[in-house]
Amino acid sequence: MKERRKYSRVKKYFAINIVACDSDGKHMRFDKIRTNPKFYDESGIDFTPEGIKIMCSKPLPEESKIQMKMLIPDEDGLNLIRANGTIKWFKQVKGKYKKYFMIGVNFRDLVQDDKEKLIRLWKKYK
């Protein structure tokens, strides 16, 4: 299968908080919900300047629009990057004790400062 990415993936684990999801016109803000489902403790697996792979506890439908906050570490500390994205694929994975989901997200509408920060981190880890 031919690689379609313009940038190579960088394997780096980091914390991610999915703040909101819009699927078929149904908008949910997870930071406003006092009970589950909250998408706080998700993990980023790898990233490029164009997208990320997330290990997620709950399924989110393809083509959903999400808002997220990522905390990507480097030697100076944690870098907060806010991003909007579109879920391009997901698959269910069975772990030893429970199932989880791998989700591929393409970035969209990145603020210039966050985009520059993401590219700097990508160059550092590639």
Strand partners, 65: 22, 86
Q: Can you give the pTM of this predicted structure? A: 0.83
CB hemisphere CA count around 107 (13 angstroms): 20
> Is pLDDT at 22 greater than 80 in this prediction?
yes
Q: Which residue has the higher pLDDT, 58 or 41?
A: 58
Running DSSP on this structure, what letter comes out for residue 25?
A: T
Pick the CATH number of 10-125 from 3.40.50.12370, 3.40.920.10, 3.40.50.300, 2.40.10.220: 2.40.10.220
Per-residue confidence (pLDDT) for residue 32, from 0 to 100: 63
Q: What is the pLDDT of residue 40?
A: 58
Q: What is the DSSP code string of 51-93?
A: EEEEEESS---TT-EEEEEEEEEETTEEEEEEEEEEEEEEEEE
SS3 27: strand
Rounded mean pLDDT, 22-45: 70
Sorted by where each begins, the domain ranges of the chain are 10-125
CA 3/CA 56 separation, integer angstroms: 24
Amino acid 20: pLDDT: 79
Q: What local confidence, expressed as pLDDT, does residue 114 receive?
A: 94
Rounded distance between C-alpha atoms, residue 39 and residue 26, angstroms: 16
Query: pLDDT band for position 1 (50/70/90)?
Result: very low
The half-sphere exposure of 118 on its side-chain side, counting CA atoms within 13 A, is 22
pLDDT digits (tens, 9 = 90+) for 43-74: 999 999 999 999 988 888 899 899 899 999 98
